[in-house]
Structure 1
């Protein structure tokens, strides 16, 4: 059960875009930007408020990879595993990060909600491979040691 503040903020977002079906995606984007994920209860609420069937709202939310129903950490780390990054050893970078953060292939977010690791097909920076981003800041030519060092600095409160 979500706190009422979630619904109040959602009402503000809905009012900004208007109570119409065409507003569904921008409303979902703003909710996810606010909370770093899309709570299912809010998606149901939005559907009711803008006159869209709940199934339609969930269909849209699950169609686009950008939407997540799972809470994400303060730092969202995307590790590219596209062809260029993969052949330039992105897998050892990912494995070093997962080991450092105590994550597994089934568990992507740390218990303290500080870090989430996502494996993505492409970050559009093939010439900088292997690449990772942290909250959309690009970190090129990563090595396992360099990636772990960045995480350790973030844990200490340092800059990315």
Structure 2
């Protein structure tokens, strides 16, 4: 997993500057910059927060408060695959609780944890907008719908 020092290249700086240039007030670029750092590092390390604070003329507290407010941003590595199981009413009524139990048994972890090898992190999240095809799960940025334990196993088995 790359460190922030590994990803802090001239190209990364140019990407950050291009993001900031889109906003009339620099501070408004905080979320896109947090996503930029997380996409590069798999989480947002302290030196990534310092980078954002310096770029935007903010203090570390401003960046940390924003980072910790959002459930899709992480202060520790999240693993190669982030399994986000929807837990809202449509998915729940269609079997999300059984899928969570199945994933807990298969992976040996509970929501909010990651596997010892760092490959998977399991999270329960609010609506992912797939109510008509419940139960649903997002793995990184890929959506999977109409899930059953067998479909989940097939999806996980197919991951590289």
TM tier relative to shorter chain? 0.7 to 0.9
Q: Which runs of 5+ in 1 are unaligned?
A: none
Aligned length: 153
Q: Paired residue for 1:140?
A: 145
- TM-score using structure 1 length: 0.81
> Where in structure 1 do 4 or more consecutive aligned residues deviate above 6 Å?
none
CA distance in 2 between counterparts of 1:135 and 1:105 reads 15
CA distance in 2 between counterparts of 1:18 and 1:118 reads 31
How big is the shift at 1:57? 1.1
CA distance in 2 between counterparts of 1:3 and 1:75 reads 19
Q: Paired residue for 1:17?
A: 19
How big is the shift at 1:128? 0.6
- TM-score using structure 2 length: 0.81
Q: Paired residue for 2:61?
A: 55
Show CA shifts across 1:31-58 (max 9, x none).
1122222112310232134310111111
Show CA shifts across 1:103-149 (max 9, x none).
12452x22222222211111111111111122232222211222123
Q: Paired residue for 1:96?
A: 102
**Which has the larger displacement, 37-46 or 2-11?**
2-11
CA distance in 2 between counterparts of 1:50 and 1:133 reads 31
Contact 1:10–1:31 (Cα < 8 Å) also in 2: no
Q: Which runs of 5+ in 2 are unaligned?
A: none
